[in-house]
């Protein structure tokens, strides 16, 4: 205990205040709220546990009344003397008389039970002396009783006046497979004290719904009716009808409620047993559904409590902040300065010793930052001047060769050629020296390169050709100025070969990389002699090193790669692929630039 107190004593003042606040305020209030919620939730569960069994008892009484009404339906057969006489007959003189009797009884069944009886009756069957009379609302199949020796005839002997046959006890099925029970009753000749046969009435168990629908809607509960073996006769979830309740054997055999866990959920189950049939009406509801309103109050209370704790915690932190914050901030900023981050400022606003220390710290960081910025800007300006000088010039050899071609065309009196070349050359000069922007629309850059290639095509005639293919809108997207001309000049210089047509292909596309971001790709491909592996490796090594360290034969490639990498990062720039007698392809990748900006944030 003493060691723990000593350790706590060495904590920062801010930590001590917060820990004390939590121990004296937050924890006691949380425990009080939890106890109050638990007591209220338990009281609700107890009230529901007492209330639901009463409803189930009333529902069972209503169901029993309906069953009594259904049990009286077979007695309607005694109201027709003609039907009774037919059932008394042991044999028929002819098949026509048998059919006539079937028509008479079937018509009576249809009139009295199907059309004039309860709407829940699906069908009526009368079995008498190897004869079956029937009338149904919907088609059926497989009429028969599983638990009796024969499916019809006088062999059926009932122990009681009425027997309920459940769906699993009969192979009878109606179209649409509605749930039903069979009310089976023995018919006796009241005059002769003999058996006339057996009547079976199929009743849709949805007649339970009128009684228990209101109960199932309250609390999002499940209700079902089971027989003595736990077989489900009716369930609010129709998929469980005819199944066996696996927990039935564990249920207490008394009317009331109990709590249980099913499928990792706490449920409150209420039972009520029906004496007349031995069936059990069950009600199951999730405990969490019973406390929904309580949970809303709990959540609102928790929210208010969290707001209160947050506000009071902030006040506590602010009180501690005024004492410990200046030194903590100074420590943090000094660590950032150690890692090379000089964009820091320690504003204290006091004139005590800590304030003087903060002022001296700010002055030191500012002086260091100014020295670094001064040296960096000098070096950057030198590189920018070098880049700009290169951007603004046109290759002297190209200028000389172009003027020489123009002079030869003048001598040959080729006026149209002279006009075209002078126009193209003038437009190239305007683009080179008349526009001081560092980024231009891709359309302008492509036009400049097209002018250059057109002049070369005029010079070399059929020995040279080029194509430019655009898969993007060149007016919408922008590119750094003069990224294509050095590459194209290099392709013309090294791609021209004696005895064949030199072709330059330029392709501009929008690509999506593996990270999901989009980039602009410029591809310049020639069909020249290509580059051997050693030379290509040397060029790639040169691009990977300091691109501005020296000028050599590949300074144009270096210049383009350096400008792109310096402005957009090392993931952008040039990629060269080539092979002997396979030509050379140079790909330039830059980020999406619209109106001179990258993603609307980065300005070149």
Q: Residue 546 belongs to a domain with what CATH number?
A: 3.30.565.10
Say which residue, 387 or 185, is predicted with more confidence.
185
Domain contains 523: yes
352 found inside a domain: no
- Overall number of domains in the chain: 2
Taking residue 284's Cβ as centre, other Cβ atoms within 10 Å add up to 19
**Distance of CA 421 to CAs 162, 314, 433, 560, Å?**
114, 75, 18, 27
Cα dihedral angle (448, 450, 452, 456), rounded to 10 degrees?
Answer: 180
pTM: 0.41
Specify if 331 maps to a domain: no
Give percent of the chain above pLDDT 90: 9
**What are the tens digits of pLDDT across the range 161-203?**
557 777 777 888 888 888 888 888 888 877 777 788 888 888 8
The backbone torsions φ and ψ at residue 496, rounded to the nearest 5 degrees and listed phi first, read -65, 130
User: Residue 103's domain is classified under what CATH number?
Assistant: 3.30.450
Query: Is 36 domain-assigned?
Result: no
**Comparing C-alpha atoms, which of 493, 507, 484 is closest to residue 431?**
484
Buried b (16+ CB within 10 A) or exposed e, 445-481: bbbbbbbbbebbebbeeeebbbebeeeeebeebbbbb
Residue 524, pLDDT above cutoff 90: yes
Residue 299 lies in a domain: no
Which residue spans within 175-279 are E strands per DSSP? 180-189, 194-204, 222-226, 232-235, 256-262, 265-273
Asked, for residue 387, whether it belongs to a domain, the answer is no
Q: Which of 178, 208, 238 is the last residue of a domain?
A: 208
Cα–Cα distance between 193 and 306 in angstroms, integer?
82
Q: Averaging pLDDT over each range in 213-222, 272-281, 312-321, which range is the top one?
A: 272-281
Of 158, 174, 208, the one marking the end of a domain is 208
Among 166, 185, 208, the domain-final residue is: 208
The answer to the question of residue 228 being in a domain is: no
Does residue 225 form part of some domain?
Answer: no
- Residue whose C-alpha is closest to residue 441's, from 409, 414, 406, 472: 472
- Predicted confidence band of residue 93 (pLDDT cuts 50, 70, 90): low
* Least confident residue range of 4-8, 166-170, 329-333, 500-504: 4-8
The helix/strand count (H/E) of the chain reads as 15, 22
Decide: residue 212, CB within 10 A, 0-12 exposed, 13-18 middle, 19+ buried.
buried
| Structural domain boundaries enclosing 93 | 72-208
């Amino acid at each position: 205990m003493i060691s723990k107190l000593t350790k706590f004593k060495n904590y920062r003042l801010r930590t001590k205040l917060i820990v004390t606040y939590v121990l004296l305020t937050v924890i006691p209030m949380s425990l009080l709220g939890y106890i109050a919620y638990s007591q209220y939730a338990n009281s609700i569960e107890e009230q529901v546990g007492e209330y639901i069994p009463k409803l189930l008892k009333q529902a069972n009484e209503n169901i029993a009344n309906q069953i009594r009404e259904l049990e009286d339906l077979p007695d309607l057969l005694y109201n027709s003397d003609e039907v009774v006489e037919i059932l008394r007959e042991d044999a028929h003189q002819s098949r026509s008389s048998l059919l006539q009797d079937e028509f008479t009884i079937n018509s009576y069944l249809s009139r009295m039970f199907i059309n004039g009886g309860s709407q829940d009756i699906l069908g009526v069957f009368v079995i008498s002396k190897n004869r079956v009379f029937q009338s149904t609302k919907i088609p059926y199949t497989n009429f028969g009783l599983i638990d009796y020796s024969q499916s019809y005839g006088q062999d059926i002997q009932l122990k009681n006046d009425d027997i309920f046959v459940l769906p699993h006890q009969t192979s009878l099925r109606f179209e649409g497979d509605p749930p039903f029970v069979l009310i089976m009753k023995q018919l006796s000749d009241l005059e002769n004290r003999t058996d006339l046969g057996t009547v079976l009435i199929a009743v849709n168990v949805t007649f339970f719904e009128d009684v228990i629908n209101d109960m199932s809607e309250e609390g999002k509960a499940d209700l079902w009716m089971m027989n003595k073996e736990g077989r489900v006769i009716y369930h609010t979830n129709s998929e469980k009808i005819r199944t066996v309740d696996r927990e039935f054997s564990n249920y207490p055999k008394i009317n009331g409620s109990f709590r249980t866990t099913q499928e990792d959920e706490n449920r409150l189950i209420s039972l009520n047993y029906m004496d007349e049939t031995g069936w059990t009406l069950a009600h199951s509801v999730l405990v969490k559904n019973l406390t929904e309103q309580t949970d809303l109050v709990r959540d609102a209370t928790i929210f208010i409590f969290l707001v209160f704790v947050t506000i009071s915690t902030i006040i506590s932190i602010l009180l501690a902040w005024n004492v410990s914050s200046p030194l903590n901030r100074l420590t943090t900023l000094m660590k950032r300065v150690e890692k090379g981050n000089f964009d820091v400022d320690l504003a204290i606003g006091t004139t005590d010793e800590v304030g003087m220390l903060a002022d001296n710290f700010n002055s030191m960081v500012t002086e260091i930052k100014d020295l670094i910025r001064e040296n960096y800007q000098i070096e950057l300006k030198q590189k920018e001047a070098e880049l700009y000088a290169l951007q603004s010039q046109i290759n002297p050899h190209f200028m000389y060769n172009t003027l020489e071609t123009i002079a030869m065309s003048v001598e040959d009196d080729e006026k149209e050629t002279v006009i075209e070349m002078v126009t193209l050359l003038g437009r190239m000069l305007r683009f080179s020296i008349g526009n001081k922007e560092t980024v231009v629309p891709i359309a302008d850059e492509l036009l400049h390169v097209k002018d250059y290639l057109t002049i070369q095509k005029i010079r070399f005639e059929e020995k040279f050709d080029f194509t430019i293919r655009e898969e993007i809108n060149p007016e919408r997207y922008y590119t750094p100025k003069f990224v294509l001309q050095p590459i194209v000049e290099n392709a013309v210089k090294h791609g021209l070969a004696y005895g064949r047509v030199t072709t330059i292909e330029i392709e501009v596309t929008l690509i999506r990389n593996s990270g999901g971001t989009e980039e602009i790709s410029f591809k310049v491909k020639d069909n020249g002699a290509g580059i051997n592996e050693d030379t290509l490796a040397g060029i790639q090594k040169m691009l990977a090193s300091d691109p501005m360290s020296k000028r050599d034969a590949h300074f144009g490639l270096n210049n383009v790669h350096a400008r792109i990498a310096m402005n957009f990062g090392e993931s952008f720039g040039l990629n060269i692929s080539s092979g002997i007698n396979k030509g050379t392809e140079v790909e330039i990748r830059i980020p999406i630039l619209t109106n001179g900006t990258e993603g609307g944030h980065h300005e070149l």
